[in-house]
Amino acid sequence: MADHLTDNQHETVKAYWTEVSPLLALLGITVAKKKRMPAKPQHRFKSAITEVPFNTDFVGTKATIYWQKRNEMRLVAGAKMLADAPLKADGSLGVDARFAKQIRAEHADAFDPETLITTKDIILKSVNEIGLFLYFGGTNSWLVFKDPDDRTIHDWTVVQSRQE
């Protein structure tokens, strides 16, 4: 309801509330503040997920991923990577593409630069790093990586927040 007030009305209500709230407290009446919901969903690693193969087939990339530990994801050898990073409107590389190139440089010995197919398993730290490595980001990888039953990695790990 407070979101529908003008700035002028906010000041009036705030002044009134400042006077009334101590009286309500004396009467034992408390008004709980509404908990804010996080802007983005939170995900938690679960040990049950370690055996689940997640696959992706996005913008010409193909890969199988396992989430092994809290900060350890394994990209299985044989993954197909996107060749060229998408450019910004001005023709330059974006932050995602620059970071992806750095990750690829760190793992240059693990893929064939001509075919862009990984030749050995690669360990990265997060869903986002895997997405950057494979296709330079640009999408929500939590919704792109799916198990054999078409359930996303988001579905497996999202924390359901309680609304009170």
Chain segment 101-159, per-residue pLDDT in tens: 999 999 999 999 999 999 999 999 999 999 999 999 888 999 999 999 999 999 999 98
CA distance 160 to 136: 29
CA 17 to chain centre: 39
Q: What confidence tens digit (pLDDT) does each residue in 64-82 have?
A: 999 999 999 999 999 999 9
Amino acid at 59: V
In this prediction the pTM is 0.73
2-52 pLDDT, tens per residue?
Answer: 567 787 888 888 888 888 888 888 888 877 777 776 778 888 998 999 999
156 alpha carbon, distance to own chain's centre: 13
pLDDT at residue 13, rounded to an integer: 84
Whole-number pLDDT of residue 14: 85
The whole-number pLDDT of residue 27 equals: 82
Per the CB < 8 A criterion, the answer to whether 121 and 75 are in contact is yes
The angle formed by the CA atoms of residues 117, 108 and 129, to the nearest 5 degrees, is: 80
Query: What is the domain partition of the chain in residue ranges?
Result: 1-31, 47-157
Give the distance, in angstroms, between the CA of residue 7 and the centroid of all CA atoms in the same chain.
35
pLDDT of residue 164 exceeding 50? no
pLDDT confidence bin for 162, thresholds 50/70/90: low
Distance CA 61, CA 80 (A): 5
